[in-house]
Amino acid sequence: MFTREQPAIGVEVESVRPTAGSACGNSSTNNATQSVAQHFLLRYGPGMPVGTAKKIEALRADFRSAAQLADMLGVSRSQITRWLRGAGMDPLNAEKVDLLELVWSNLLRLYEREAAFAWIFGLNPLLGDRRPIDLIRLGRTEELMRAIRAERADTFA
């Protein structure tokens, strides 16, 4: 079992230490560090999987308003507020939230926030000159992830 320390803001390094009594308690590995392959640290604690309400809170913070998030999901701003207060969510909208979070977190591994935002709203030749946000609203996971994988391959080529 491992514990995670929260690194300082802007630091892209993760410190991993075995907890007392763990099977890999080698004293030479107690202060091992490794690089994190993304621009920003993950916003969730080690208690995965993350509930949809937590994703909505994180996305609202990332997009800086409930109105912007509502527009991206194709719902009313009051719907975002209801979800944050614990109202039930239908499976279709839950899927959209999950997909937006998946796409956004993958883009932040490749780009700075502004470039990731432009990618979501811009016409994309890898998607037949369609906007990724429109495919998020339609729930087109496979197409979006294929385009992100192509971006990643091009970025690291």
Residue 87 is predicted with a pLDDT of 87
98 within some domain: yes
139 within some domain: yes
State the first-to-last Cα distance of the chain, in angstroms, to the nearest integer: 35
Total count of domains within the chain? 2
Q: Which domain holds residue 9?
A: 2-35
46 within some domain: no
Residue 52 is predicted with a pLDDT of 80
CB atoms within 10 A of CB 103: 22
Is the domain of 19 the same as that of 56?
no
Is the domain of 19 the same as that of 65?
no
Q: What is the pLDDT of residues 14-62, one digit of tens each?
A: 333 334 444 444 444 444 444 444 444 445 444 445 678 889 999 999 9
Q: What is the pLDDT of residues 2-21, one digit of tens each?
A: 333 433 334 333 333 334 44
Is the domain of 93 the same as that of 145?
yes
45 within some domain: no
pTM score: 0.66
CA–CA gap between residue 70 and residue 119 (Å, rounded):
18
Is the domain of 56 the same as that of 23?
no
Is the domain of 118 the same as that of 60?
yes
Is the domain of 121 the same as that of 95?
yes
- Is the bond preceding residue 125 a cis peptide, omega within 30 degrees? no
